[in-house]
Structure 1
């Protein structure tokens, strides 16, 4: 794997070769048709975990047929501090913790760090679902964590590695870090990282370790992990805090240079912010005046009614059930009507705004950390 320093990486992102860079880094990805989720159907707010609908991504660039295949009864989570073994947790013990009242469910939008709005291949690595599991803190209650520990290094059975700050486990005002064993009311599938994966509400997908098999407590605060030290070496925002950047994915025009029947069209998309809620989406055509798009499904009752009965009940038990919508860390769908477009070439610009006062901009210099607006060329047919 060729190593890029930060300057080379950002320079490449700023050029037309961004898609080539993504292909180099994402040979373990399978890009799904973005139209299969996010709009339409009875479960438009929720992405089924089925193969070919929920996106596939491997941090170690492995093909899906080579993904770890771990039976639930065989799953073990080793807990270490360097060479010292602190404990172990198996699947039955984890489920027993859930049955004893420790189980929780919450909405989480998983977004791959390669899902930047830079090319037609980079729009589908995002999905939204209801994860169920046990808070990591509950699983660690019987573990004597070293007092000097500041980070948890995370290891997957596929060889992928990352880390999370130890302080994140008890962060105030944040949903708990979760050892998840279900997605959308069903056992977490092999390709989604089952039988158990790490889920961290506000963080990029790579921090949510699939096929989790070891946690290592360390006193070292140095960057650690495949993305942190190899693939994005030198990009500070990739390691800490690892939060998803404010994002906007246009669904209608995901293919770029799409040809649409005019003169009136409807555009749709999803927007999400890693540690905040989406408050507004604005759009303009050909750099004209901005208009406000409609936020869809931003009411808990409306979302619940769009789900099958079993998932309606699960949503009612979710940790966010009494929160105001839209939710932090969870996508919101948006839609807008554009009328009277003339035949020929046009450019759509879309910007999202969040509850922390951040707004997407056209040129940020570091799209992994700072919000970047979406510009999409399209055609109106004669």
Structure 2
């Protein structure tokens, strides 16, 4: 531990997608002495998929792992949307967009394999941060070890210890829970390269192929008090999801859910954070900042949570690569610049996601009326303008 204390200039809390993407970006830019702390004893390879749009692929290309992931995931050609309350259907052609359903496991592995060995330290978690008078910080781990890195980056998710220290409040519950999983077809499936979205009465659902054998699906509905109990039982979780799909009347989705692999199944309460503290500048203090869900957790309706974390990583890396990490004032200025770059983008996408969730899943007559009479008629590729964001390339040095 003493060796880590003396050599780690950049400390990243969290070995998920945001943490590994941030580490890889910094590594590509030539920054050294990077340590990622992951509280689990290995990479957490459970879970299903992330929807990655054009903006996310630009970030992955900047990190140098885009083509690796493209080879393993099907590019989708369109989105079909069905409203069960009105009977209307709509198709959005994705001819000018790149959208793929990327398996979380494969994304994590691609990022981890591109990092130098021993970058990730498992079984370690930050328990406290203490700021000195010179605005440098001391990190205390749960085992009592203390570290004094030049930069501290919180990539520790929606319940981030680092975000809490910065002054963010706890995440808010959206009142909806989402089932997710991966249906596996070892001999290949028959699904076309598209997603089908279903807007029901208080329920939203979607499914589409990741590759030739795996199909991603999700279902969301109002949160129930029993969700916490069944989230740990894959058999019950799968059964509940199947019943919801049957209620929607989609036999193909029922079949996909039946074929779900147990370690891909999850049931989570959707969370978001009011972004006013972020806009006010609490996302940075001294040599400390946050990335991804630690900064801007949001509901998943726009499929932008993962992509925004990748954008954060690239933007932060560029800001830090411009300064001398031996000079605290320059580090602080770089982190402030990063926050300034990201706050408007995160706020806009977060608000759009929340509004989309309310309209898509609302069972009250007014949201349904707006959805079916206004939003549905305006569905078009123009509504994907947020995917046009480009965080720019990196000057690859390693």
Q: Under TM normalisation by the shorter chain, which class is it?
A: under 0.3
TM-score (normalizing by structure 2): 0.24
TM-score (norm 1): 0.24
> Which protein, 1 or 2, shows the higher relative CO under an 8 Å CA cutoff with sep ≥ 6?
2
Normalized per residue, the structure richer in helix is 2
